[in-house]
Amino acid sequence: MDEEALGAECGAPSGGGLVLPTGAPAALSCEAARTIIAQVRTNLAAPVTDVEAAKFADGVVDWLDPHGLWSVAPDAPVAPLVRREGERLLRELEAAPNGDPCAAADVVGASLATWMKTLRVSFDEGLREGRPEGRARSPAEVWRTVTAAPFEDGPITRNGRELARELGREVGAARAAYGVALDPYVTAASQRLFPDLTAEAWGRVVIAAAVRAYVPQLDAHGAWAPLDEEISIYDLDLETNPPLRLWSEMTRTALGVRIDRGALAPLLDGDVVLSVRGVPLTGMSVEQAEQSALVEGAPHGPPASVTILRPHVAEPMELVVAPAPAPAREGPAPAAEPPELPFDIVRYAEGRVAVVTIPDVPDDLGDRIGAALARVRDAHDIRGVLLDLRANGGGSTDGAMAALGHFLPGAALFPMRRRDGGVEVERAPEVPAEESYSGPLAALVDGDSASAAEMIAGALASYRRGVVIGDRTYGKGCAQEYLDDEAHAGVLRLTTLLFSLPDGAPVQKVGILPQITLSLPAATEREARLSRALEPWRGPDVRDSALVREVPWALHGGRVGPCRDETVCRALRALGTSVAAAR
């Protein structure tokens, strides 16, 4: 699900812009890890139960291994050791800062140091096999090797030694084809995939993986990420001005990443990116590679130097990727128009209904709703507005409140409770009368409508301002914040608030039960099914009584549609019955 979060601007927590990843594995000292864990426990919205050692150990194994080589591979000795040491590692991390050292992490670190030597031998053997004397490969064969995807996305089934040897063969074949220009990337591949670290240094890598595994075991929506992977815990697509990316989809290869879609010119889909800003991408985790892909300061940030391989080009290419310069103009630039929400007009009785689809809740949803309502005002015979919130996983609380300002200007909205028992009450913005909408309103929801989408539908129901129709919603009545960790090593996303609806009704683990129920496809997930979800909270009734009012829907006499989506027509037919119209 999309996380509902406060203060979600990319790079905002760390305050100094994003860190360019180096490719080194994330590492933490024992004291730093304990400081972060104490911060997490202090800031969570409610007390939580103890962490299960077995689940924690499984999480450590997963986070430790970005390539399917270090711990998850069937022949790796590390995973069984982590599971044996999991209970001790857990207790050591939960100890007070400046306590005894994390001895369990050092035990695992020693095993990793030995395992890396074994894998490096297999890689070097493959490297030699990939550069056979006297055998020339065709350009097509070379390109297939360069663009191959050696890492498994799902369960790891391939032995680590086998994968290391195959990586060596692929790197060796590329070196044979492109010559000495590839030597820096051959060296980087060996160093990144099989770091030559001491047992103590590997122990710090284990500790960082343990913190990443620990936080979600306390908080179903929580996460910790080191600074060079921090974008992995943000949802950049929900930001009003998201940073530019060098690509939108990629696949890791032995030497870098292959751009699958969304290449930023002069890059092309299909290019293999070897380095960004002089830093090789080979052997990086997915999270580090994605952070390397950001062009900061969008839309007019600094240029990025990129080294690539491209089909039918005999050597690496050096490119400079720069955002488009701002066009010269006199006077202040006009405000950018918000992206339009999907908008449809459906026949309803002698008039029409505007159906506005809201797929998620970005920061600027208020502006987008305002633009949609301007179209409503320009249309003729509009008898009502239906907000389609199905499959809306949520997003920004600020976006939800801004959207509600168009229907409930200035209304007291959501009581929010922190860990210390303090309750804050959020209010909708005061929207000018000419920009608000006071006619019949409904929200169509389903089991995948969550968090900020539930805020919108729930507030309309609490104030009787609109009819909620569909199926019971997901039930995510909590909000996350992004925080710098107190060890100055990364960023946390934590559930710091529980919220209720304006009438005090709980949302967490409960969801919103529509006033009119439709039979819809069952949701595959619910907040109540998450093992670490917080318990429901009933808040105070903060409604402004003067704003509690019903705006009934007119009867339609069966004259509805046609609709692009039959569920929309079903909802409108149900709204226009005598019972619904009289609500």
- pLDDT tens digits, 484-526: 999 999 999 999 999 999 999 999 999 999 999 999 998 889 9
Q: How far apart are CA 92 and CA 89, in angstroms?
A: 5
- pLDDT tens digits, 38-82: 999 999 999 888 899 999 999 999 999 999 999 999 999 999 999
Judge contact between 484 and 429, C-beta under 8 A: no
Q: How far apart are CA 570 and CA 583, in angstroms?
A: 18
Beta strands in 173-290 (DSSP E): 223-226, 244-245, 249-252, 257-261, 272-276, 279-280
pLDDT of residue 325: 60
pLDDT of residue 1: 39
pLDDT surpasses 80 at 238: no
DSSP letter at 534 equals: P
Q: How far apart are CA 557 and CA 576, in angstroms?
A: 8
Judge contact between 497 and 418, C-beta under 8 A: yes
Q: Which two tokens stand for residue 547?
A: 């704003």
Q: Which two tokens stand for residue 140?
A: 């097509």
Q: What is the phi/psi pair of residue 295, to 5°?
A: -100, 105
Judge contact between 407 and 374, C-beta under 8 A: no
With a threshold of 0.85, does the pTM exceed it? yes
The CA distances from residue 324 to 244, 266, 297, 499, in Å, are 11, 11, 12, 42
Q: What is the phi/psi pair of residue 498, to 5°?
A: -110, 140
Q: How far apart are CA 68 and CA 293, in angstroms?
A: 22
Q: How far apart are CA 389 and CA 450, in angstroms?
A: 9
Higher pLDDT, 580 or 207: 207
Residue with tokens 């005894």: 100
Question: Quick count: other Cβ atoms within 10 Å of Cβ 236?
Answer: 14
pLDDT surpasses 70 at 328: no
pLDDT surpasses 50 at 11: no
Banded model confidence at residue 14, pLDDT cuts 50, 70, 90: very low
**Residue 90 burial (10 A CB sphere; 0-12, 13-18, 19+):** buried
Reduced to 3 states (helix: H, G, I; strand: E, B; else coil), residue 353 is strand
- pLDDT tens digits, 138-162: 888 989 999 999 999 889 999 999 9
- pLDDT tens digits, 431-486: 999 999 999 999 999 999 999 999 999 999 999 999 999 999 999 999 999 999 99
The CA distances from residue 151 to 24, 232, 252, 351, 419, in Å, are 18, 19, 7, 57, 42
pLDDT surpasses 80 at 202: yes
